[in-house]
Structures are given as structure tokens and as C-alpha cells.
């Protein structure tokens, strides 16, 4: 459909891989925004300066880089896109 779901976080790649494995998210791309610290999250307005980490968010971006849809979740809430990208 010309979109890419992004799970934005500042976690290092090994942490993101462990998280994806635990939640059985084999096909969801989870890029790391580890360094420079939160640069992508800051660009999307999703970095929580006070806490030093990004919001829990899903962002749909089209092939031209245009944001089509996004949702910010409570930090303790599991994003709902999991059901679309599970094993």
C-alpha cells in the first residue's frame, strides 16, 4: 500500500530486537533512534525531553516520506498495530 509502519524509540538495536521477539513482531520494521540520541523522534515531535526518551508511537509514512497517519500511545500501552504484524 506504499506505506511503512515505524515503531519509533531510542532503544538500541539489541533491545528492540528482543522486544520484537518477545511480542512476536517478525515482520514489523523497528528502526533504532539510538544515536544521535532521539534525532528522529525529535524531528517528528515525539521526543520527551524531560524523561530523555521518545513517546510510544506508530507512524505511517508513504513512499515520498509524507506522514499519512500516526498515533501516540500511553507509555504503558501496547501499540495496536501488533495484531497486523504478528507471526
Structure confidence at residue 25 (pLDDT): 76
Say which CATH superfamily domain 3-84 falls into: Glutaredoxin (3.40.30.10)
Identify the pLDDT of residue 38. 92
Number of H helices, E strands in the chain: 2, 5
| Distant-in-sequence, close-in-space partners of 83: CB < 8 Å, separation ≥ 6 | none
85's grid cell: 504484524
Domain edges within the chain: 3-84
DSSP state of 10: -
> What value, to the nearest 5°, has the Cα angle with vertex 34 and ends 63 and 52?
110
13 secondary structure, DSSP code: H
pLDDT along the chain (87 residues), means of 10: 67 84 77 88 90 84 78 83 51
Question: Which residues lie below 8 Å from residue 14, measured CB to CB, with a gap of 6+?
Answer: none
pLDDT for 44:
84
Q: What local confidence, expressed as pLDDT, does residue 78 receive? A: 75
At 50 the pLDDT is 94
Amino acid at each position: 500500500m506504499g506505506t511503512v509502519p515505524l515503531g519509533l524509540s531510542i532503544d538500541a538495536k539489541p533491545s528492540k530486537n528482543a522486544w520484537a521477539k518477545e511480542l512476536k513482531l517478525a515482520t514489523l520494521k523497528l528502526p533504532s533512534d539510538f544515536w544521535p540520541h532521539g534525532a528522529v523522534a525529535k524531528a517528528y515531535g515525539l521526543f520527551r525531553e524531560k524523561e530523555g526518551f521518545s513517546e510510544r508511537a506508530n507512524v505511517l509514512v508513504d513512499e515520498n516520506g509524507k506522514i499519512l497517519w500516526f498515533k501516540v500511545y500511553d507509555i504503558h500501552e501496547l501499540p495496536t498495530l501488533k495484531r497486523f504484524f504478528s507471526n
